[in-house]
Amino acid sequence: MREEIENLQSNLSLYKTPLILGGIGAALLILAVGLLLKSQITASDVVFTTNASSSAAVKIRIDVAGAVISPGVYEFFEGDRVSDALTSAGGLSVAADRNWVAKNLNRAAKLVDGGKIYIPSQIEEKVPAPLSGTSTGEQNLINLGNIGVSEGKVNLNAASQTELEALPGIGPVYAGKIISGRPYQSVEELKTRKILGQSLYNKLKDLLTVY
Largest CA distance in the chain: 141
- Rg value, the chain, Cα: 39
- Residue 72 belongs to what H/E stretch? strand 72-77
pTM of the model as a whole: 0.39
pLDDT for the residue 86: 92
Q: Is the pLDDT of residue 3 over 80?
A: no
Top mean-pLDDT range of 91-100, 158-167, 187-196: 187-196
CA distance 201 to 193: 11
Interval 6-23: pLDDT, tens: 665 665 566 666 667 666
Show Cβ contacts of residue 63 under 8 Å, excluding neighbours closer than 6 positions: 72, 73, 115, 116, 117
pLDDT exceeds cutoff 80 at 177: yes
**pLDDT cut 90: percent of the chain above it:** 15
Cα dist. 95→92, 123, 146 in Å? 8, 8, 15
Phi, psi (degrees; rounded to nearest 5) at 208: -120, 155
107-146 residue pLDDT tens? 898 898 888 898 988 876 433 334 334 444 444 443 444 4
Number of alpha helices (DSSP H) and beta strands (DSSP E) in the chain: 10, 6
pLDDT at res. 144? 40
Lateral strand order in the sheet of 72-77:
72-77, 59-66, 116-119
